[in-house]
Amino acid sequence: MVSNKKVILKWFKPLYNWKQLLKGGIKLVLVKIDLWEIYEGLKYNFLYNGDINSIHILLNLYDLEANVRNICPKYICTNEIRKKIKRQLKYRKDRQLISNNIALLLHENVTRLELIIYLEGYKYGYFNNKWVNNLENEAIKYYSVEYLYDKNFLFHHDIYFKEIIDLKNNFYLEIDNQEKKSNFLHDFILTYCEKTIKGKVYNLNSYIDRQLKIEYETNHLNIKEEGSLLSMKELNSIYGNVVNTIIKNNIKLYKEASWYGINDRVLNRYK
């Protein structure tokens, strides 16, 4: 069984190679290693290798460690990218085609990132005893123990008390201040974009299936592609817009997930 202090799995391959592990080709032995190493290996394999088994293992480890079950990320970033690019290319007739192709092309990479960011934020809130205690102190002013025992949601979504709104805003402000000092989320997301998204954006012309336009002339039928190839200037601008959109939305997602983590931890104290 997995311990919440030191877990104990080691194999004779790099930590991120869970796919071979699950096929049974690697012998496991018990050793003491940091749980953090396993987490990082699983996240890497999911993000960069697209191994869905790694995220299932990661979620199971989180659940064993802290009874973390209420994981419900909102996948909104791809749609935001589509809208931003369509507005950016408003001077082009094929803007709808280009924006749809970008959204489809990046969807899988972006949603993987959103899930990992959500998990990181959720765990940050769940294990943040200072803010969990602060929220619990406020919650018991408004609700009885019986109410908390029966509830699956606390102040996750709708907040009607000024004190709770202020607490949430102060919590978000603390995250923003920490991010300004460390740039941890910004750098993490930027690195991921450079490794997985940049190449796709700069090769966008080869992914776009262009529409054909038929022109009838006297005794002649002329068929040609509608729209021109994207220039390097346009591709630079598109990539910058995509990255900014991903960073903005994922930092927002991280804060929201952190808030959910705090709320779930308070409720779990009464289960």
Predicted local distance difference test score (pLDDT) of residue 124: 95
Extended beta strands in the chain, E state:
6-10, 29-34, 212-217, 220-225
Which pLDDT score, from 0 to 100, does residue 69 have? 63
User: What would the pLDDT profile of 206-221 be if each residue is shown by its tens digit?
Assistant: 887 655 455 555 565 5
Predicted confidence at residue 9, as pLDDT, reads: 33
- Quote the pLDDT of residue 60: 84
Angle between helices 129-142 and 162-182 (to 10 degrees): 170
> Quick one: pLDDT at residue 265?
94
Given a contact cutoff of 8 angstroms between Cβ atoms, the answer to whether 264 and 70 are in contact is: yes
In the chain, which stretches have pLDDT less than 70? 1-33, 64-69, 209-227
pLDDT of residue 225: 55
Confidence at residue 63, expressed as pLDDT on a 0 to 100 scale: 72
Q: Render pLDDT for 111-152 as a digit per residue (tens, 0 to 9).
A: 999 999 999 999 999 999 999 999 999 999 999 999 899 888
pLDDT of residue 180: 96
Residue 218: predicted pLDDT: 58
> What are the φ/ψ torsions at residue 205 (nearest 5 degrees)?
-60, -30
Q: Are 9 and 38 in contact (CB under 8 A)?
A: yes
Distance CA 270, CA 143 (A): 12
pTM over 0.75: yes
pLDDT value at position 1?
Answer: 37
pLDDT for residue 67: 63
In a 13 Å sphere around the CA of 4, the CA atoms on its Cβ side amount to 8
